[in-house]
Amino acid sequence: MLHSLPTLLAELEHRLIAGEDPLPLLGSVRWPEVIDWPKDREEALRLRQRLASIQALIHGLQAPLRATLMGLNQEAAYQRKGSIPLPASLSLKFQQSV
């Protein structure tokens, strides 16, 4: 299935704003088959600005989680690149259902 890059970004942004999980969308993309890449410098700059907006949206959605993790950590000091060490009482397990 071919995906248009602008349409893909619009759908990703829509899912993030709606609070939906974007992983099924991103997992269904065949990245070598993505079409409609920028053809000139102006389009590339618009794409860069759009990606910066989506990145800001993702950081905004992560803010409550980061604040909670900082509250759980007794030694809440900032680390390199803004990372937060996880408390020993918290374990993360990620799994993907197929």
Domain extent listing, the chain: 3-71
Amino acid present at 69 = L
Amino acid present at 92 = L
Task: Report the pLDDT averaged over residues 1-6.
Answer: 80
pLDDT for residue 52 is more than 90? yes
Which residue from 27, 35, 26 is spatially nearest to 3, judged by alpha carbons? 35
- Token output for 86: 């996880």
The confidence score (pLDDT) of residue 88 equals: 64
Could you tell me if 80 and 94 are in contact, meaning their C-beta atoms sit under 8 angstroms apart?
A: no
Coil, helix or strand for 35?
A: strand
pLDDT for residue 76 is more than 70? no
- Token output for 11: 């759908």
pTM of the complete model: 0.64
Longest CA–CA span in the chain (Å) reads 51
Reported as a pLDDT band with limits 50, 70 and 90, residue 97 is: low
The Cα 67–Cα 1 span in angstroms is 39
Task: Report the pLDDT averaged over residues 42-64.
Answer: 92
Reported as a pLDDT band with limits 50, 70 and 90, residue 85 is: low
